[in-house]
Amino acid sequence: MKVQTKSKKVNKAWLNDHVTDPYVRQAQKEGYRSRAAYKLKEIDEALHLIKPGQLVVDLGAAPGAWSQYLRRKFAPKVAGQGGAAVGDLNGRILALDLLEFEPIEGVEFIQGDFREQAVADALAAALGGASVDVVVSDMAPNLSGVEDVDAARVEHLIELALDFCQQHLKPDGALVAKVFHSAGYSQLVELFKQNFQVVKPVKPKASRDRSAETFLVGLRLKRPKR
């Protein structure tokens, strides 16, 4: 009974925080599918990563707020139903997620697990040989609560994203990836430094203070020495 009571209290506290969260309210007002849109928006406005005409890959795209933000950057007109900007799309967005993804006009979507080679191959095939300007990754594993296990799972996803960048990102491209400021964080920073000339850790204001979530941004790809 005590566990149930505590659970109810936790759920009630989360619900209260969610309902009163200014970013949740703003997302509802502006038609974004989640408050996560403002995390990418802050990062982009600080570093000027997203520009019309680019090819952007959105990994871990569901429910679609980041793709919506990208859509608005590529068609910066009045937002229509569903939060996506209306008008012709000046750029290309390729989204991928294990979960279902409600369609966004102009956004190409592949459903599958990025950890599976067949899915990575399908994503590569969809590019059609084109090089990518920016990769954004909001991917996160199911966390077990076991610190070392969770750190290994996060690192594996980052390694896959970095490998994808080595294969498909333009030399002056960028990677934005969600990580967690916990066990294994310093190793993730080191991985980024091995792959990018510039590495910037960013904690957007839209990311809740109590969350260990943070983002690493890699700029200007390094090619591995042969």
Query: How much is the pLDDT for 88?
Result: 79
Q: Binding residue per annotation — 66?
A: yes
Query: How much is the pLDDT for 211?
Result: 86
| CATH number at 33-221 | 3.40.50.150
Q: Which helix (H) or strand (E) holds 199?
A: strand 196-202
Give per-residue pLDDT as tens, 56-101.
999 999 999 999 999 999 986 655 444 445 567 899 999 999 999 9
Tokens representing 176? 């934005």
Q: Binding residue per annotation — 113?
A: yes
213-221 and 169-180: which strand pairing? antiparallel
Determine the 3-state secondary structure of 65 from DSSP. Answer: helix
Percent residues over pLDDT 70 in the chain: 85
Q: Binding residue per annotation — 138?
A: yes
Q: Residue 9 pLDDT more than 80?
A: no
Binned at pLDDT 50, 70 and 90, residue 225 comes out as low
Residue 178 catalytic? Answer: yes
Q: Which of 178, 203, 205, 225 is catalytic?
A: 178
CA R_g for the chain: 18
Give per-residue pLDDT as tens, 177-199.
999 988 899 999 999 999 999 99
Q: What global pTM score does this model have?
A: 0.87
Q: Residue 31 pLDDT more than 90?
A: yes
Residue with tokens 């009163």: 20
Q: Binding residue per annotation — 97?
A: yes
Q: Residue 2 pLDDT more than 70?
A: no
Contacts of 210 (CB under 8 A, 6+ apart): none
Quickly count: other Cβ atoms within 10 Å of residue 51's Cβ: 14
Give per-residue pLDDT as tens, 208-220.
888 889 999 999 9
> Whole-angstrom Cα distance, residue 42 to residue 138?
14
Q: Binding residue per annotation — 172?
A: no
